[in-house]
Structures are given as structure tokens and as C-alpha cells.
Chain A
Amino acid sequence: MNTVYFNHRRRRARGKVHVPTVTLAHGGGGKAMKDLIDDVFVEAFDNPLLAPLDDQARLDLAALGRQGDRLAFTTDSFVVDPPVFPGGDIGKLAVCGTVNDLAVGGAVPLFLSCAVIVEEGVAIDFLRRIARSMAETARQAGVQIVTGDTKVVNKGACDKIFITTSGIGAIRPGIDLGPHRARPGDIILVNGLLGDHGAAILCARGDLALETPIASDCAPLHDLVATLLAAAPGTRFIRDPTRGGVATVLNEIAEAAQLAIEIDEDLTPLRDEVRGFCEILGLDTLYLANEGKIVAIVPPEQAQPALDAMRAHPLGAAAAVIGRVVAGEPGRVTMRTVFGGNRIVDMLVGEQLPRIC
């Protein structure tokens, strides 16, 4: 069943929730559900496209066509534990994640959907906080949340809240990004300090009893990408190194491009706290997740303008060149270590697990 928030055509008073927690009644399709949707989601997301409150958002094709010659369409689910962490929450993450997946393809993000699965017993105030956080992040990213769905499940059937967002963006004519465009000699850049999100989440889980000032880097990157593309129009390819970190993305790029990649450990920008955190746990910073970072491949002659443009942007102050594309064994990523040795940077097998000693 596809339950849509907004199933009332006529102007009417918005429903209000008068209980402190979500119960299965809020997923039952009746008045309680309408009240929850009105009070929490419509209240936060309100915008003209959502206003008709129909089973679907209807978008003007001609208007879309004026913004580009191709549509970008993407989807992502968010299940982060804990749902609120230093630097953000699952709502902010759910908007940034999808916005960034559109942006790194060269698209201008425009519309999002938002499907929420809530565990019974969750506080209404918590839901409000997450919805407001989504609305605020969407405003920053210049996107509208135009359709959605809410389900309530039994306790234990999900972990507080799961969110799925899908997004549509428009790609301007002439923009063509893809790993197939990478050439030997191309330069690899990142827009700042790596691993903050992964480290912040691990710390926020609390079972390490480590107190750190590390906050998630979670941020919408559409503007940074636009800035980069303006300064370096020859940019070959952009990816956001989320799960699996920079190491995984570089492996995927090398594999897809059938080229080799060399990076230099000395050049990878890292916060001392994140390095220290990884030292203690025996984790590798290169595999930590990022939520506000891009890896960009640019032709050598545009590397400096690209770097300058990113550094002038608030989300790129610590941008750096970390390596280059070379003609070596296809799919291979190697790193010159701080110590002067060389090693392979492979895909992670499973999850990174802290080492015994």
C-alpha cells in the first residue's frame, strides 16, 4: 500500500498529534496517521508542489527541460545508529546523501521524496526534530521534498527510524562525467579532511567511552560541485566517498576506468583527532565514511584552478591533491606510505573491525 501524506484537496485545518509517542495507530491509515503526517511532516516540508496533497507530486516537464537536457534520478536508504550524532542527524543525512548523489553526477538537485519507517514508541518530538532537520537541509540544498510515505512498525522491527529519499535533478547540456573519461596523468583531488563522519558515528555509539570533538562532515555538496565544474570544466569524474571511504571509491574508479591510481599518504588531509582515533582502534582512515566530501578527477592542466576554486568555497577550505591516475595494472590502487614504502589499497572485505592488540 502506498500511503501518501497529502490526500486532501480542499483547504482544511491541519491535524495535531496530542500524544507523546508514536503508536501502531499512527500507521493505521486513519485519523491518527493523518494527524501525525500533518503535524510532523507537512508542517516541516510545506511547499507549493506538495500543497495539492495528492498521491503523487506532478512536475512541469517544460520547466525541467529548461534546466538541462537529462534527468538524474537516484535513491538511498538511511539507517544510521545513533540517529542523532555530533554534526547532524538521520534527517540531515537523508537529504545530503541523495542531494550529493545527484550533485556528483553533475546534476542540479531539484526534488526529493521521503519515505519514513518509524518504530512504535519513538517520541513525537524526536520525529519533529528529524523532519525539521530535513526541511532545513533541503532549504540549504535548494531542493523541495514533494512526496512521501510513512509506515509504523512493531517495536524491534526497525531501529527507531529508517528513511529512504529519492531525488531528481537536471543535468545541463555539455556536462559529461564518468570514470571512462579518466586518463593517465589526471589529478585526484578531495575537498577536505577525510573520515570525520565515520569517526563521529563510531564515537557517538558510546561503547568506546572515548570523548572526542569529532563531528560529522555531513553537508550538501551541490554548490561546491557547481563551483568546481565552473573552474575546471574538463573535470572527468566526481564521486562522494561515503561508505567504504576514499579507498573504496578509488578502487571503483580504477576498476571502471581500467587504469591504476597512485596516492600519497602524506597528502591525504586528516584531522589529528581522527588519526588518533584510528590509531587507538587499529582502523584505517582511508576506509572511514564521509558525508560531505568528494573525490574529483581532473585533467592535470585544470588541477590548480580546481584546487583554488574548492579552497575558496566554505566546504573546500582543506581541499588537497592526493594522487594521480597512472597507466599501471588496471584496477590497482597503490599508496606511497608516510614511511616511504608502497602498499596496495584494496577494497574492504567486510566491515572494519577493531583489532585485538
Chain B
Amino acid sequence: MKYVDEYRDRAKAQILVREIETLAAGMKIAEKRPLQIMEVCGGHTHSIFRYGIEGMLPKSIELVHGPGCPVCVLPMGRVDDCIAIAERPEVIFTTFGDAMRVPGSRKSLLQAKADGADVRMVYSPMDALALARKNPTREIVFFGIGFETTMPSTALTVLQAERESIGNFSVFCNHITIVPTIKAILDSPDLHLDGFLGPGHVSMVIGTAPYEFIARFYKKPMVVAGFEPLDVLQSIWMVLKQIKEGRCEIENQYARIVPDAGNTLALRAVARVYELREYFEWRGLGSIDHSGIKMRAAYARFDAERKFALPNVKIADPKSCQCGEVLKGVIKPWQCKVFGTACRPETPLGALMVSSEGACSAYYQYGGVKRQRDDAAIEAGAA
């Protein structure tokens, strides 16, 4: 398939893997401990598992699967709020598909639907707006979720609703922003990250400038990466090359999609509709300052948070979950106390087991090969 197969070329992958092996072999850090590279974005995590990239890398390189799955990091209390809205008889609650399974403290949206709530899966917020036009007597609420990638589409939908004076449409805004979160991770004391793969689609909106502090103040290299497997391999190679040459820069591997300045039209729409929250709660990571956005007062009539009374109760993450440590690369998913036992994809306890982009779910589903290899190594060590 054109524009897809070129980025999955096995022969080119082998050349890159050899280059990566050569680079890693000559590195001092890699002799003492594995080099840790974090992919921030859940889309990368998915590609890494989908194509078996982790198993192709030398053992001296460890990929840490970061917090970039917006479905996974949504705290239980917010899911409960969703369900409270969805269970109102006048409401049609619309959501992206993979948010349906996220567990709240009592149930998920999928269970709420089975219990009679009118929950519908849509593919775009514009589908929700179309439902609002078609059902003038119902309240249509769209579950706004995601990083800067999906923010412009909900902002533009709100602006469209304003233009058409549609009164029965609102957004339950749970959008989050990536930069404060990367900063929070970098500030965490138990961290040894050596570099980052930057989120490609977020960067398509915000550009590469917002990451400069990572290179300048934290002295870590970052490469904004595409999502095809060759993109990921090439980006890993670029990070290694920076480490090898003692550089710390923000490089753009995904230049075919990501302009360095981002998308000004999208940013303008986002700035018009949204403003930063003082703080936002993340499942697994706790509260992070300025990491969420909310709707500006001028758009209050499209804000589900203002339109409906919400329980707005904070629910603590289950104690047994070690999502935070997995997110920061301190432990591997299967080293968590409840991985594969109390916490499984069909009954997720922790954030990372929820979506196919979550590190734990990906390991559970795809990761056995690597895990087996590691287990074998542990057994060999014990013997």
C-alpha cells in the first residue's frame, strides 16, 4: 500500500538495527545499565508492540513506555462524572471507542450503556454535533479527551456549534497537555531516562519549540517521531547519535507531517475556546500543575462541566497499582504486583491496562516474546 509499505521495509529495518547496535556497543552508559529511552506517546507504544520493535533492539537499549495514552491516564473520578452525565435521561453521551472500557469507581461507560444510558461511539466530535442537529430535544454531550492532537477538533466543533447557535451540544472537557507532564516526569527523583521520542501528532499541532526546555535545562535529547516502524527505529537511532556525540537537541524525524512552527490555525482555535486549568489529576501520576485545559467562560454554554451538576469526587487509584512506577520506567509492567492477576485487560485495575495503547495492556497482548526472553535471562542468572 502506497505511503505505508515504504515505512515498514524489512531490509531497511535491518540496516537501521545494525547501525543502532554499532552505536549502542560503543557507549559507556550502556555498559553499566541499559540506555532508557521513553516514548511519550501511546501511538508509539502501540507501534513498538504491533511490529515487535522492542525485540529487534540490542539488550542495552530499554524503551520506557510513557504517559501518552489519554484514555489510560484519565482518573476514576472523571469517569464517574462521565457516567453521571450519561445516565441523565435527556443526554446522548458520545465518545471515542477506546474510552468506553475505562473503569470508573462503579462502572465503565460500556456498563452504563448496558444499564440503559444512551452512550454512542463516534469517530469525530462533528458526528456528535450532527446528532445534536438531528435530536433537538436531547442534550448531546461529547467526551473531549486527548492531548493537543484531538484538542483542535473539539475546539473547532464548539466554534461551529456557536456559529449555528446549537444549544443542545456541549463538550465534557478532559483534554490534557503534554509538556507539563514531561516536565513532571523529568523532575521525578527516581528517574534515569537518557532520551525521548517526542509525540508526532501532538507536535503536528504545537510544533517543536515547546520542547526546547528538555534539551536546554534537563540536557536530554528528544526526537519528534513518526508512527510507522521505520520512523520509530530511525528516531531511536537519532537519539543514540545525539547521546554518542554529546548533543542535546530537539530534532524532528517526522518532518513530513510536523512543521517546526506547528499548525497556527489549530492553535488559534484551541486558544480561543480553551484555557489552562490550575492543575489536573492523572491516573497513576497524581495531580500535575497546568496539565489540563478547560473551556473559557465565553463558551460556558458548551461546557458540560457547567451545564450539568457533577459528583466531581476524587477517587484514589487502587493501592495495589504501580502504574506510576511503570509510567516512569522504574519497573517493567510485569514486575507490578497485580499485573496479569488482579489487573487484566478484561478487568483493568490500573490505567495502563485499559487501552491497547497502555503499556501494560500492550505487554499483556503482544509482549510475551520479550518477557519470555527476560524471564529466561533471569532464570539463567539464578541458575
Residue numbers of A with Cβ under 8 A of B are 207-208, 272, 275-276, 279, 281-282, 284, 329, 332, 334, 336-344, 346, 349-350, 353-357
Contacts and interface: CB of A to CB of B under 8 A. Distances in A.
B8 A350 contact: no
B123 A208 contact: yes
A342 B373 CA distance: 12
A350 B101 contact: yes
A344 B100 contact: no
A353 B121 contact: yes
A344 B98 contact: no
Given A207-B121, A340-B56, A341-B54, 18 more contacts: A272-B1, A275-B1, A279-B4, A284-B50, A329-B372, A337-B51, A338-B5, A338-B10, A339-B52, A340-B52, A341-B52, A343-B367, A344-B369, A353-B97, A354-B97, A355-B96, A356-B97, A357-B149
- Most chain B C-beta atoms within 10 Å of own C-beta, residue among A332, A334, A353: A353
Contacts of A353: 97-98, 100-101, 121
Contacts of B368: 332, 344, 346
B43 A342 contact: no
B119 interface: no
A354 B123 contact: yes
A354 B96 contact: yes
B70 interface: yes
A337 B127 CA distance: 35
Given A207-B122, A354-B98, A339 B70 contact: no
A355 B97 contact: yes
A334 B371 CA distance: 13
A357 B51 contact: no
13 contacts: A329-B372, A334-B369, A337-B52, A339-B10, A340-B52, A340-B56, A341-B54, A344-B368, A346-B364, A346-B365, A355-B46, A355-B96, A356-B99
Contacts of A281: 123
Contacts of A279: 1, 4
Given A207-B127, A350-B101, A357-B150, A341 B201 contact: no
B51 A355 contact: no
Contacts of A275: 1, 4
Contacts of B70: 356-357
B379 interface: no
A213 to B, nearest CB: 15
Chain A interface helix/strand/loop/mixed:
loop
B331 to A, nearest CB: 21
A194 to B, nearest CB: 15
A340 B51 CA distance: 8
A339 B13 contact: yes
A354 B46 CA distance: 13
A349 B98 contact: no
Contact of B53 (A276, A339, A346): A339
Interface string B10-28: 1001100000000000000
A342 B55 contact: yes
Contacts of B52: 336-337, 339-343
Interface string B216-244: 00000000000001100000000000000
A340 B369 contact: no
A343 B14 contact: no
B170 interface: no
Contacts of B5: 338
B13 A356 contact: no
A337 B150 contact: no
A355 B354 CA distance: 12
Given A207-B123, A353-B97, A356-B98, A339 B357 contact: no
B302 interface: no
Nearest to A275: B1
Nearest to A280: B123
Interface in B340-383: 345-346, 355-357, 364-369, 372
Contacts of A276: 1
A282 B70 CA distance: 15
B1 A340 contact: no
Nearest to B47: A339
- 4 nearest CB pairs, A to B: A341-B52, A353-B97, A354-B97, A339-B51
Given A207-B122, A276-B1, A342-B52, A355 B201 contact: no
B339 interface: no
Nearest to B200: A357
Given A353-B100, A356-B145, A341 B55 contact: yes
B49 interface: yes
